Structure 1
Amino acid sequence: MSEYIEGNTQFSVLDLAPIVVGGTPAESFRNTLNLAQHVENWGYNRYWLAEHHNMPFIASSATSVVIGHVAAGTSTIRVGSGGIMLPNHSPLVIAEQFGTLESLFPGRIDLGLGRAPGTDQRTAFALRRGSRSDGHDFPEQLEELRGYFDPSLGTNKTGVRAFPGEGLDIPIWLLGSSGFSAQLAGQLGLPFSFASHFSPNSTMQAIDLYRRTFKPSKVLEKPYVMLGVNVIAAETDEEANLLATSLQQQFLNLIRNHEAPLQPPVENMEELWSDFEKEALKNQLGASIIGSPETVKQKLLSFIAETEADEIMIISQIFDHQKRLRSYEIVSEMMMMKK
């Protein structure tokens, strides 16, 4: 990727494979592959998919399967998880799944890991059944998983080996929205991705903790920070603000515990939310970058300068697929990425 005017920050994509009102998961997966192919041409660095469950507006619950679908339909862009919620799974199963993906698509697979359930507690129980894992043993699960890929670490105490998986060099990232994963990533010398797109008020604290606790490893010599950011770009500020109401409605429904597909834009959010809900959304979505090409460029450069992020992962929950494509294209044009 070519440098943009202020430095070497790279740009990537987080896709939730949104299911829109009146749409189907099949349509979402077609849109996902179409978007991946386009952003590959526009110079984006990696394309990640997120694990969520029991959410009628997100189709990427079987994350590893969708990663394989995207990797098969692209040729150069890195593809991975943003992330796999490790406590929902056996570390061995994840090692085998991602060992399979890396064997099929060598040098292109990332494994981003989180410790949250990616869902509500009832669904977490349905996923985990008798497992006692509630995320508190995430460091131990991580050690076991890493040991399946690299037996020399000595962290796999099971006596079981992962085929495929063993001996493969699959980058492992820790994902977080608080300080826990930031500190763990720093101590282990792993790359760290923070969810600024829904936890903006904790961004600087988490980055600082990661960088202060970072210890060089055979994976990384120095800290590497990627930040998730909601970006909705359009030809004008007015159009972008209109498109952003789909994202706002999504979070409003989450606050109200009302699960629904992604809603079309509305002219006036004031008719939908209370003052309390509006303030709550402002806290959650405060780092969102919404506007015309020049507005987006200015805000992105300011955000990068403030955080000194090595990479920005862009999330664009836009109802209309063509406008979603255009939003990512605008960012590529503004950041002078190779096309």
Structure 2
Amino acid sequence: MRSWVTVGALALAATVVGPAVVHTTASAHAISAPTQVGGGKAGKVTPTPAPTPTPTSSTGAAPLVQGTLVETVAYGRHVRQRMDVWYQPDELKRPGVFLVHGGWWSSGDKKYMTEVSRSYAEQGYVVFNINYRLSGDASWPAPRTDTFGAIATARRHAARWSFDPNNYVVVGFSAGGHLATAVGTYKNGLPGLRGVVGISPVISPLTAYTEGIGTLDPNKRKLRDSAIKLAGGCEPTGKCARVWTSMEVPWHASRGDAPMLIVHSSDEFVSAEHSRQLKEHLQQVGVPVTVLTEQGIEHSAPLYRLPGVAEQVQQWVAEKLFSLGR
């Protein structure tokens, strides 16, 4: 199978499409053919990633790039263990982009990432837009385990989607940014992971917990409560210290971790302190980190939609996925 890069498809990465929120009506339970439109560190609670079951698929409903197929794939038994796969059924091996939605770890859905998925699919990437168990379904580390499960399933069945399993990035928004960076700092690096992007990522649940004490900001108070719920309903003391340690991304930095790009607004409720901590820990072990700060209060998807932000993220992603010297 030829590499996408070797046939000159890098030019596709110059395409930039501004994201917007669009709802998809795809059912995760229907089983049918794909649809074509237009043609080991201390403190870890889970020692290993999730298993990789053979995926089952259903139809996707979003209008796609010409020649692109979409499948809604089950990577586990729970109803939330689903991902939409946007791919071109050809002989190339294309780089992959995994998208992880936000929502306080307790809400949100992959359908809100439809236009972001489309923008990367139009650039020629294979896109894996994932759902995961929420904190009301299971506490930490369930959502991280699910993110591993989605990635492992995609890599195991790479040929099915013309995907290069050794060349992908993970992009997460808000709480999804926490999961993306947690995956990026797991053990000493995941095979094939070339970069991690966090848009308003909640990198440090402990910082969220502290900043939510005594504040008048309702979002900071809600984020504190959401972190407690993610931890199984307990605060970071006594018997719960271990799970909070596992959730704390900066403490798991190691030399083999993937490079990271982090974007915050200057005055949003997920403070840039989260990024400062992660940058400090990753730089100590020699992992490059780029932090972008935009003026204003926009958080997550609204931040990504600010003029120039998506373009900078897409350029960074392209640099990471085309730096292998092929």
Q: Same fold (TM over 0.5)?
A: no
Larger Rg: 1
Higher strand share: 2
- TM superposition score normalised by structure 2: 0.36
Where relative contact order (Cα < 8 A, 6+ residues apart) is larger, the structure is 1
Higher helix share: 1
- TM superposition score normalised by structure 1: 0.35
